[in-house]
Amino acid sequence: MSFNDFKEWYKKTYPQQKYSSERCWHIIRTYIKGYHFDDSHQFFLDIDDYCNEIKRKDKTVSDDDFQEIFNTVWKRYLRFCKKEKRWDDQDLARAVLAGIVNGEIQPQLYAATFCDEAQDFTRIEFQLILRLSV
């Protein structure tokens, strides 16, 4: 599921949009799916985690906006992806990390990695890059 696919889905699902598709994608990608990783790769950041565990300086959206998007757009997006067997780049990063942690994937390690637009990486993607680094 690319951002363009998400944007189309969002327009169809929410014709009267309170939030932009960019804002929703940012919250889903950066926080809900891209902030935490555990060995089962099923852990998503929830409202309590966002409101209570993330420092104010690390937040780019208000607690209220996060909560509303989590309860509406995120839950519906998650159901849609499961039903349609769709995945996005955060699911891929999580699956690779889980495979490495569980010993199912033997990664090739790299001495150096060059990344363009690294400021757009999520914490999950950074973990993956670190796991692939010597």
Give me the tens of pLDDT residue by residue for the chain, a chain 134 residues long.
999 999 999 999 999 989 999 999 999 999 999 988 765 556 789 999 999 989 999 999 999 999 999 999 999 999 999 999 999 999 998 888 888 877 888 888 888 888 888 888 998 898 888 888 88
Six token digits for residue 84 = 């349609």
**Distance, CA of 63 to CA of 2 (rounded, Å):** 26
The number of domains in the chain is: 1
Residue labelled with tokens 């902030």: 35
pTM: 0.84
**Measured distance CA(6)–CA(27) in Å, rounded:** 13
Alpha-helix runs per DSSP H in 54-122: 63-69, 75-84, 89-101
Residues 6+ apart with CB under 8 A from 89: 29, 125
Q: What is the pLDDT of residue 39?
A: 55
pLDDT of residue 65: 96
The residue to which tokens 């944007």 are assigned: 7
pLDDT at 77: 97
Q: Which tokens belong to 58?
A: 């690390």
Which domain range does residue 56 map to? 3-131
pLDDT (0 to 100) of residue 81: 95
